[in-house]
Amino acid sequence: MIGPTGSGKSFLIQALAHNACMQLLSVKYWRLAELASRLDEVRQDIAATNDLVKKITKYHLVIFDDFFTTEISPHATRVLLEIMEARTGQATAIVSQTGASDWGKFIPNQVTAESLINRIMHPSMTIALKGETNLRETYKPREIL
């Protein structure tokens, strides 16, 4: 799912996740920067890294929000590639402000970038949210007089 800031991407994906939970499906939500930080924390511990990858692959639905809005380490990128490979055929939602053609800018190794983007995009469905409205501004809390 792609769209500009404030278009409702995160709200919509969280609503879909809530619906999945109501159907007793297991769901894991990660902001990509948080996952990358966690992967960097366990970098020296191969067993911990493998455990994290296994846990992520066991969920019925995994959501990666704010996908490549910031750069992540080469290590985190390689592990993300492993995660996407392991999740082949499983429900995985990617939420981003930009399309896949821009993600490679955040991945220094072009071979890794192509492999990761290929695993995400084939097969996949893209939902593009458009509009000039910033929902955060439209629905911000208002002061009661």
Total count of domains within the chain: 1
Tell whether 1 is covered by a domain: no
Instruction: Give the pLDDT confidence of 57-81 residue by residue, as tens digits.
Output: 999 999 999 999 988 999 999 999 9
Using alpha carbons, select from 119, 18, 106, 27 the residue that is nearest to residue 66.
106
The pLDDT value recorded for residue 6 is 87
Confidence of residue 111 (pLDDT cuts 50, 70, 90): very high
The pLDDT value recorded for residue 124 is 86
For residue 141, give the DSSP letter: -
Tell whether 64 is covered by a domain: yes
Is this model's pTM higher than 0.95 or not? no
The CATH number linked to 99 is 3.40.50.300
Tell whether 91 is covered by a domain: yes
